């Protein structure tokens, strides 16, 4: 079955630690995205990538970093510079970046202790 996987589902981190969230898709999609969701809020874009080895900052990129070395993979690193990292993180992909439905992974819930 084609789809998007994210791991882990739940993640706990101590303050000051970097952590990497995994996102893999086997849909052969060109574009991939990372969103952050806080309670009662919509989805806010962190980073997106329209093609391998290229990515752009979204609205809230500070304290986050990404890489896109393979078409299937788009890992997100939450660094210690991110002031309030506790949130629900969603990865998505789409066939192309314009006017295409986005398919979402199941999400990773990150809690900073």
- Judged by the rule CB under 8 A, the positions of this chain that interact with other proteins are 31, 33, 35, 40-45, 48, 50, 56, 58-59, 90, 96-107
Least separation in angstroms between CB 16 and other proteins: 28
Give the nearer residue to other proteins in terms of CB position, either 18 or 59: 59
Residue carrying the six token digits 């996987």? 5
Least separation in angstroms between CB 108 and other proteins: 11
Task: Give exposure, 2-15, as e/b (b: 16+ Cβ within 10 Å).
Answer: eebebeeeebebee
Give the nearer residue to other proteins in terms of CB position, either 18 or 57: 57
Query: What is the SS3 assignment for 110?
Result: strand
Give me the residues paired with residue 35 across strands: 45, 90
């Amino acid at each position: 079955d084609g789809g998007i996987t994210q791991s882990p589902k739940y993640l706990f981190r101590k303050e000051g630690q970097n952590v990497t969230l995994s996102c893999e898709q086997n849909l052969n999609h060109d574009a991939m995205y990372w969103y952050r969701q806080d309670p009662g809020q919509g989805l806010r874009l962190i980073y997106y990538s329209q093609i391998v080895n290229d990515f752009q900052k979204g609205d809230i990129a500070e304290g986050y970093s990404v890489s896109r070395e393979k078409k299937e993979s788009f890992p997100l690193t939450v660094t210690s510079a991110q002031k309030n990292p506790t949130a629900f993180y969603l990865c998505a992909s789409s066939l192309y970046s314009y006017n295409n439905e986005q398919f979402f992974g199941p999400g990773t819930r990150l809690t900073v202790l």
